[in-house]
């Protein structure tokens, strides 16, 4: 069924696809080579793309000393906190805007739509002064709260809830079930796929966020892994050795790459939705 030209096409595309992967392979490969070798040359075997001579010392050193494990933990806390926060405010607000009638519904929806236009970079200075006034910098909630205010999640959930047929709800209303119960017992279970998409979108964003943590977390104890990696890469050659910095990079990428490989369909959906809407 598949023609010969198809196999040629696959073969021809494998070359750019492999080239696309080379920088990542290189990072992984360097992270498994001894630092004293790397100080001499980075192209030991096949331009350094194969980790020979091989060592896991960079990883053991990373977990023995240094702050990488703590930064990793911080990232987990912040990313999970942000994910649950966004899910909580987005599902509730999305449901209300999609299914309920109430005064001032249209203006509120428009107000949320306008918020999609405000880029993070346009508000990070006033946010910084606000959080300074509250004395909130260098804390987990300072890293989590600003992102919960972004309306993209509300719109994702709104679109999902709108597509659910009305009759389920109406039958429940006739039985005397309250709106809150309908939301909690009927709508939320139905919304699981959409919530999954939103959760992954938020987790990826939180894990990779750079500008706001850079501004808000000044103490190294509150660095996320993304921020910590930035702080050690400016002087990587001298201080800790190239192999160890690369190992930090691999560790920093591991959760999002695993997430991507397991939930590929959701990640693609999430990024398509996030990309085309805001």
Partner 1 sequence: MSNAKSPLQRLNETQSAYLLLLPFLLTYGLFLIYPFFRGVWISLHDWNLLQVAFNPDAKQFVGLDNYVRVMWGRNIEWSPWARPVLQVLGLLGVVASVALNRTRRLTSLTSVALGLAGAALFLISGVHAGEEGRWFDRRFWPTVGNTVLFVGLTVPGVTISALLIAAALNRETRAMSLLRTLFFLSQVLSVTVVTLIWQIMFSPRQGLIANITELAGGSPINWLTDERFAMAAIVIATIWWSLGIAMILFLAGLQDISKDLFEAGALDNCTGVRAFWHITLPNLKRTITLVIILQIILHFQVFGQSHLMTQGGPNDETQVLVRYIYQTAFRDSELGRASAMAVFLFVIMGAFSVVQFLVGREEND
Query: Which residues 14-33 are close enough to bind partner 1 by CB under 8 A?
Result: 14, 16-18, 20-24, 26-27, 30
Q: What is the smallest separation between the CB atom of 57 and partner 1, expressed in angstroms?
A: 19
Under rule CB under 8 A, residue 127 binds partner 1: yes
Nearest distance from C-beta of residue 196 to partner 1, angstroms = 16
Q: Among 50, 52, 56, 88, which residue interacts with partner 1 (rule: CB under 8 A)?
A: 88
Answer whether 143's CB lies under 8 Å from 217's CB: yes
Instruction: Choose one: 55-63, 76-84, 112-120, 162-170; the region binding partner 1 (CB under 8 A).
Output: 112-120
CA gap 36, 30 in Å, rounded: 12
Distance CA(31)–CA(267), nearest Å, equals 27
Task: Judge whether 222 and 74 are in contact, CB under 8 Å.
Answer: yes
By the rule CB under 8 A, 247 interacts with partner 1 = no
Find the binding residues for partner 1 in span 48-87 (CB under 8 A). Answer: 48, 85
Distance CA 250, CA 39 (A): 19
Which parts of 199-238 interact with partner 1 (CB under 8 A)?
Answer: 204, 207-208, 210-211, 215, 226-227, 229-230, 233-234, 236-237
Is 32 strand, coil or helix? Answer: coil
Closest CA to 202 of 256, 139, 128, 140: 256
Least gap, CB of 138 to partner 1 (angstroms): 15
Site for partner 1 in 169-188 (CB under 8 A): 177-181, 183, 185
Nearer to partner 1, 194 or 227 (CB): 227
Q: Are 144 and 85 in contact (CB under 8 A)?
A: yes
Closest C-alpha to 51, from 70, 34, 39: 34
């Amino acid at each position: 069924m598949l023609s010969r030209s198809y196999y040629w096409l696959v073969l021809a595309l494998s070359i750019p696809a492999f080239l696309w992967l080379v920088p990542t392979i290189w990072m992984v490969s360097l992270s498994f080579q001894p630092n004293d070798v790397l100080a001499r040359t980075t192209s030991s075997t096949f331009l350094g793309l194969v980790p020979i001579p091989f060592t896991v010392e960079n990883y053991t050193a990373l977990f023995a000393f240094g702050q990488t494990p703590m930064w990793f933990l911080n990232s987990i806390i912040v990313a999970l906190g942000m994910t649950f926060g966004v899910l909580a405010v987005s599902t509730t607000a999305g449901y209300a805007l999609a299914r309920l009638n109430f005064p001032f519904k249209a203006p509120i929806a428009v107000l949320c739509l306008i918020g999609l236009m405000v880029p993070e970079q346009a508000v990070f200075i006033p946010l910084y002064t606000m959080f300074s006034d509250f004395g909130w910098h260098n804390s987990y909630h300072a890293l989590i709260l600003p992102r919960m205010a972004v309306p993209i999640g509300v719109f994702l959930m709104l679109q999902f809830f709108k597509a659910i047929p009305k009759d389920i709800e109406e039958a429940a209303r006739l039985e005397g079930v309250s709106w809150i119960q309908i939301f909690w017992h009927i709508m939320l279970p139905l919304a699981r796929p959409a919530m999954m998409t939103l959760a992954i979108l938020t987790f990826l964003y939180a894990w990779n966020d750079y500008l706001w943590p850079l501004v808000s977390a000044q103490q190294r104890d509150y660095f996320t892994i993304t921020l910590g990696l930035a702080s050690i890469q400016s002087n990587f050659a001298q201080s800790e050795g190239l192999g160890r910095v690369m190992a930090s990079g691999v560790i920093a990428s591991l959760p999002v790459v695993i997430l991507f490989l397991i939930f590929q369909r959701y990640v693609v959906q999430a990024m398509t939705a996030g990309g085309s809407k805001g």
